[in-house]
Amino acid sequence: MTVRKNFTMPDKVAEDLEYLAEKMGKKQSQVVQDLIEEKAAEYEIEKKLAAAEKLSGIFTGMIPEHVGIQWIKTNSDN
């Protein structure tokens, strides 16, 4: 589905949009769409990284420092 939007912008921004469209060989609406999608993807990555950082310390301290592979092997029933 396509939605029609009407934007107002300063002359300089309109000139830059025309320039970018010409350089990229795209319609102005496609340039705007591409740039919005690119920026939205950047924010989505930042959001996911923030969530991962929040989770990164969640398991800290759950296993005592003296417990390692050798300790587990020594103290296992097998």
Q: 6 lies in a domain?
A: no
Nearest-angstrom CA–CA distance, 25 and 16:
14
Angle between helices 28-56 and 11-24 (to 10 degrees): 90
Nearest-angstrom CA–CA distance, 61 and 40:
36
Q: 51 lies in a domain?
A: yes
Residue 20 has what pLDDT?
98
Threshold 0.75, pTM exceeds:
no
How do residues 15-65 score in pLDDT, each as one tens digit?
999 999 999 999 999 999 999 999 999 999 999 999 988 887 777 777 778
- Total structural domains within the chain: 1
Q: 3 lies in a domain?
A: no
Q: Identify the domain containing residue 16 by its residue range.
A: 11-59
Q: 65 lies in a domain?
A: no
How far, rounded to the nearest angstrom, does the alpha carbon of residue 74 sit from its chain's CA centroid?
A: 44
Q: Which residue has the higher pLDDT, 76 or 30?
A: 30
